[in-house]
C-alpha cells in the first residue's frame, strides 16, 4: 500500500513540474498559435542563472533559494520577451519559419551554455528540508514534490486570474479572437502578445529552478529533456487549453510513475502509448477545440 501511495504522490509532484514547463507552451500556443521549440532554453538559462545567484548568497539557505526562484522567473521572462520581439514577431502566421527559427535558437543556446558552464552536469545543493522526506500513510515522499505541487497550484491560479481579471488579460483574449477590431480601438495588441511570451517564460523560469532541485543538478540539456514531456502534456491536454495541460500533466506523470514502479521502468513507453491513443481517438486532446 505504501508503494502505491508513493507512486501516486510522486506522480502528482512530477506532474506539477511538467505543468510548470507546459503552462507556458500551452499559453503561448493557445493565445498566439506559436509552437515554441526554444521553450526549454528559457528553463535551462533560468536554472543556470538561479544556481549562480543561490551559490553566491548561500545555496543551502531559504533566502538564497527564494532569490534563485525570483531571478529565474525574471530571466525567463526577459529572454522570452526578447525572443518574441527579435524572432517571433516578424514571423506571425508563418508557422514553418517559426519552427525553424525556434529549433535553431534551441541548438545555438545549448551550445552556448555548454561553452559557458561546461558539458558536465553541475550538482547543486539546496535547503536541507528539500532533501528530506515526509511520511504519508507509510510512504516516505521527498519534500521537493510538495514544493512542486504548491508552485504549480500558485502558477495556475495566477495565470487564470491574469487572463480573466486583468485589463491585459481581456485585451489578449480579445486580440486572439479579432485582432483587427482590437487594433482599430487604438490598442497595441503586439505589446500584449509580448507580455504573453514573458509570462510563459517566467513560468518556465520557475520550473527551471525547481527542476534543478528535483533532479539534483543543472545542465544545458535539462530544459530540452523536460520539454519533450511538456509537448506530450500539451498535446494530450489539448493545444491551447491551460486546464487541459494541468489535467494532462497529472495524468501523464502518474501513469509514468506507476509504470516505473510496477512495470519494470516502462514509464516513458507508457507515456508514448498514451500519446498515440489520444492522437488516434481524440486528436484535439482532452480539452482542446476541434479545428
Q: For the chain, give the percent of residues with pLDDT over 70.
A: 95
* pLDDT surpasses 60 at 291: no
Query: Cell for 267?
Result: 514509464
What are the CA-CA distances from residue 228 to residues 50, 73, 136, 195 (Å)? 22, 21, 31, 24
Q: Report the predicted TM-score, pTM, of the whole model to 2 decimal places.
A: 0.92
CB atoms within 10 A of CB 105: 18
Query: Can you give the C-alpha Rg of the chain in angstroms?
Result: 19
Distance CA 174, CA 241 (A): 16
Per-residue pLDDT at 51: 93
Query: Cell for 239?
Result: 493545444
Residues 6+ positions from 164 with CB-CB distance below 8 Å: none
Per-residue pLDDT at 278: 92
Per-residue pLDDT at 48: 96
Q: How confident is the model at residue 33 (pLDDT cuts 50, 70, 90)?
A: confident
For the chain, the straight-line distance linking the first and the last C-alpha, in angstroms and rounded, comes to 44
Per-residue pLDDT at 175: 66
Which has the higher per-residue pLDDT, 178 or 247? 247
> In the predicted model, what is the mean pLDDT of the chain?
88
Q: Residue length, the chain?
A: 291
Q: For the chain, give the percent of residues with pLDDT over 90.
A: 57
Residues 6+ positions from 174 with CB-CB distance below 8 Å: 181, 182
pLDDT tens by residue, 178-222? 666 766 767 776 777 788 889 999 999 999 999 999 999 999 999
Per-residue pLDDT at 178: 65
Local structure of residue 118 (DSSP, 8 states): -
Closest to 118 in 3D by CA, of 211, 217, 19, 34: 217
Per-residue pLDDT at 290: 59
Q: How confident is the model at residue 132 (pLDDT cuts 50, 70, 90)?
A: very high
Domains of the chain: 2-281 (1.10.3470)
Residues 6+ positions from 187 with CB-CB distance below 8 Å: 171, 175
Helix runs in the chain, H state only = 2-32, 39-57, 62-83, 95-117, 143-165, 167-177, 179-184, 189-215, 222-237, 242-262, 267-281
pLDDT tens by residue, 157-169? 998 898 888 887 7
Amino acid at each position: 500500500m505504501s508503494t502505491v501511495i508513493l507512486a501516486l504522490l510522486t506522480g502528482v509532484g512530477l506532474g506539477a513540474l511538467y505543468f510548470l514547463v507546459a503552462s507556458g507552451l500551452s499559453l503561448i500556443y493557445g493565445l498566439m498559435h506559436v509552437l515554441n521549440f526554444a521553450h526549454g532554453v528559457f528553463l535551462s538559462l533560468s536554472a543556470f542563472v538561479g544556481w549562480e545567484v543561490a551559490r553566491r548568497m548561500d545555496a543551502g539557505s531559504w533566502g538564497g533559494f527564494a532569490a534563485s526562484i525570483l531571478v529565474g522567473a525574471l530571466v525567463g521572462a526577459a529572454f522570452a520577451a526578447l525572443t518574441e520581439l527579435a524572432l517571433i514577431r516578424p514571423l506571425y502566421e508563418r508557422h514553418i519559419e517559426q519552427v525553424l527559427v525556434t529549433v535553431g535558437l534551441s541548438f545555438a543556446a545549448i551550445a552556448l551554455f555548454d561553452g559557458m558552464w561546461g558539458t558536465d552536469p553541475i550538482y547543486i545543493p539546496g535547503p536541507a528540508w528539500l532533501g528530506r522526506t515526509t511520511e504519508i500513510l507509510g510512504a516516505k515522499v521527498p519534500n521537493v514534490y510538495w514544493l512542486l505541487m504548491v508552485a504549480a497550484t500558485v502558477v495556475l491560479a495566477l495565470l487564470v486570474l491574469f487572463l480573466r481579471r486583468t485589463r491585459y488579460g481581456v485585451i489578449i483574449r480579445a486580440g486572439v479572437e479579432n485582432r483587427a477590431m482590437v487594433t482599430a480601438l487604438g490598442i497595441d495588441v503586439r505589446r500584449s502578445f509580448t507580455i504573453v511570451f514573458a509570462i510563459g517564460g517566467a513560468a518556465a523560469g520557475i520550473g527551471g529552478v525547481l527542476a534543478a532541485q528535483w533532479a539534483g543538478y543543472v545542465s544545458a540539456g535539462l530544459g530540452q529533456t523536460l520539454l519533450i514531456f511538456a509537448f506530450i502534456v500539451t498535446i494530450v491536454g489539448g493545444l491551447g487549453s491551460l486546464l487541459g495541460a494541468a489535467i494532462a500533466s497529472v495524468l501523464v506523470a502518474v501513469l509514468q510513475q506507476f509504470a516505473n514502479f510496477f512495470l519494470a521502468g516502462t514509464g516513458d513507453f507508457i507515456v508514448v502509448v498514451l500519446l498515440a491513443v489520444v492522437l488516434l481517438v481524440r486528436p484535439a486532446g482532452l480539452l482542446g477545440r476541434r479545428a
